[in-house]
A and B are shown apart, each in its own frame.
Chain A
Amino acid sequence: MSVFAGRDLDCVRGERPVFAGLGFALRPGEALVLVGPNGSGKSSLLRCMAGLLRPARGELSWDGVAVDEDPEAHRGRLHYVGHQDAVKAPLSVEENLHFWAGLRGAPAAGAARVDPARALAGFGIAHLARLPARLLSAGQRRRLALARLLAAPAPLWLLDEPAAALDDTALGLFEAAAAAHRAGGGAVVLSAHAGFRLPAAATLSLADFPPERPAP
């Protein structure tokens, strides 16, 4: 049983402390929704979890083993979808997806490789496959970014505001994809403003971990 956990995490951006003493634990099939006001560190926490950002203090672990000990293995088991969609305008939708799926190399043993066309269909944009990505709307670009999740399976999804720019249909498709992912033993961490229909998702409020601000 693989548990992704964080303990005593402090985050400092620039000179400014963002959150302090934060801890969480995530088991297979679980979902964690990060909530909090703007600037409370939702994105920073997700970047910490992905290993893009080094926490000022504290430790992230996977199955009890510190993530720092084998960052490469950690990178291989997560998907990160940030604010930006990482979509290259001159490439077609299909080419964009193929590139990111191919870059991850061979899937881990036992994991079936998903056909990129199916991944696009999973977010309802299969008919756009040959279109240059510069013609996509913001919502369609978001769908393409999320389709990466399906094109190359990974047990941990880290999603920063996945619902941004999505319409109701896409939101439904995303919820279905997340549910299937969790049913398969995957875990999801996402930040959100609006309420998500993620069944039995734990909520982590960043406002509960305020940094000790130095007295002015």
Chain B
Amino acid sequence: MTAFLRLVRRDLLLAFRQGADAALVVVFFALAVLLFPFGVGPEPNMLARIGAGILWVMALLAALLSLERLFLADHEDGSLDLLALAPLPLELVVLAKVAAHWLTTGLPLMLTAPFLALLLGMDAAAIPALVPALLLGTPTLSLIGAIGAALTLGARRGGVLLPLLILPLYVPVLVFGVAAVDAAAAGLTPRPHLLILGGLLLGALPLAAWASAAALRQALD
């Protein structure tokens, strides 16, 4: 087993043993989405029209919840020093941790979203676009979030700073994620929007690994 997979496996094991984190994300997502009918009124037309936006905004807020801990736990107990000294390049350490983060937050969000979409009365035609859009979009959220988590590692109020830093960077994913779902609901092809989401993911992959690793080195120094 390579060092990369070992690290992913350890993080998944930790998330699984601690349990609460992944469940918390999904429960927060579901609860927050379910608040909207109370807030904007239960008119089905209204909810169906803004449903895609609700799901995406809530999904990225839910993804934020556990981001602060991404490197913090390892930083606090000294594991990050040892990870930086491991033969694995720090860039791959970042990607391994992001992969584990996505598997414990992005993936459950993606699996919950279709049910919440039906609950909001969204067009069933939109769901085949919603799932791939989340599949391409949520890893990007984890990747961009890793940059923020690494940058705020030494900061005193990292938890407050983190959303301020990365929420603006989430805008492109939000725009094209919602556009893909809306296009499908309107009977158009979501393909161009999905391609852009894929492009964002491919761009974020090396960029986030490089930027987070640089920030982590700074934090260790």
A binds B: yes
Q: Does B40 contact A (CB under 8 A)?
A: no
Q: Can you show 12 pairs from A to B with CB atoms below 8 A apart?
A: A50-B81, A51-B85, A75-B85, A82-B81, A83-B78, A84-B77, A84-B78, A88-B14, A88-B77, A95-B13, A102-B3, A103-B3
Q: Does A113 contact B (CB under 8 A)?
A: no
Q: Which residues of the partner chain A approach B85 to less than 8 Å between Cβ atoms?
A: 50-52, 75, 78, 80
- CB contact under 8 A between A85 and B78, given known A80-B85, A99-B6, A104-B87: yes
Shortest distance from the beta carbon of A51 to any chain B beta carbon, whole Å: 7
The listed residue with most B CB atoms (<10 A of its CB), out of A87, A95, A99, is A99
Q: Report whether A91 and B78 are in contact in the complex, using a CB–CB cutoff of 8 Å.
A: no
Interface of B: prevailing SS: helix
- CB contact under 8 A between A99 and B221, given known A52-B84, A87-B77: no
Q: How far is the CA of A175 from the CA of B79 in the complex (A)?
A: 25
The answer, among B10, B18, B78, B220, for a CB contact under 8 Å with A99, is B10
Q: Does A69 contact B (CB under 8 A)?
A: no
Q: Binary interface profile of B, 3-40, with partner A (CB < 8 Å = 1, else 0)?
A: 10011001001100110000000000000000000000
Interface of A: prevailing SS: loop
Known: A52-B84, A90-B14, A103-B87. 20 other contacts (CB 8 A): A52-B81, A52-B85, A52-B220, A54-B221, A72-B89, A80-B81, A80-B82, A84-B76, A84-B77, A84-B78, A85-B78, A86-B79, A88-B14, A91-B10, A91-B17, A103-B6, A103-B82, A104-B3, A104-B86, A104-B87
Q: Which residues of the partner chain A approach B81 to less than 8 Å between Cβ atoms?
A: 50, 52, 80, 82, 84, 86
